Amino acid sequence: MPPPRRADTRSAKPAAVLLAACMVLTSPVTQSARPMMTDDARLVDPKACQVESWVRTNKGSREYWALPACNFTGNLELTLGGAQTHSAIGSDTTDVIFQGKTLFKPLDTNGYGIGLAAGYAAHPAANADRQLLGDPYFYVPMSFSFRNDDIVVHSNLGALRSREKQAIKPTWGLGAEWRLNQQLFLIGETFGQSDGRPSAQAGVRFWIVPNHVQIDATYGNRLESSDNRRWFSLGLRLISLPFLK
């Protein structure tokens, strides 16, 4: 699970259009966990790419995210993307994420999968020196398949080193997806860090074009009495055929 995205203070239309132009509707492509924060033990298909993009509306701010990712070798998925956040008080912040992810054991139907992901989460607009050096993190994604993939459970355990606080924070996530039919899924999860209350969200995922074009929506909040940390997200995911050499 990457470090939780900031929500207090993902649009890549050109990339999405370019990716959509190279799509063909017949290739089987592995599904991953968007819109969940808890990552899964899956990768985009070898030599293929995807773009996950979404808008997240928080109380007092709105985030625009885009995370392009490609699997160049067959077992190494690289992601480079980020977000622009606009707050109600007129201040803007940015986030940049670079991550690599590999699998030790791919997820099997009615079995399990396990992998490793590591990367950096940087906030260049918030750094006085404007450096892109950010907070390094890693986590171990595990997934468990039940009832012929109708139910898949995901868990993440990892750690984040905060440069600002000079501290290492354990991170965790636990979620599940329920397949209602070949196109419609329900998702639910909870996740957090060692300090502070955990968060939770629930939502739906729908494949407009199976394995190639997906839309999703979620509602989430911190697990506390106040609703000041609630959010709502709408997302679009596009997946290409293998085309990298």
**pLDDT per residue as tens digits for the range 2-48:** 565 544 333 334 443 333 333 333 333 334 457 899 999 999 999 99
Domains of the chain in start order, with CATH, are 13-239 (2.40.160.40)
Q: Give phi and psi for 19, each to the nearest 5.
A: -65, -40
Backbone angles phi, psi at 15, to 5 degrees: -65, -40
Name the amino acid, one letter, at 220.
Answer: G
Q: Which residues of the chain have pLDDT under 50?
A: 6-32, 128, 130
Return the DSSP state at 133: -
233 residue type, one letter? S
Dihedral pair phi/psi, residue 16, rounded to 5°: -65, -40
Measured between alpha carbons, how far apart are the two ends of the chain, in Å? Answer: 29
Say what the pTM is: 0.83
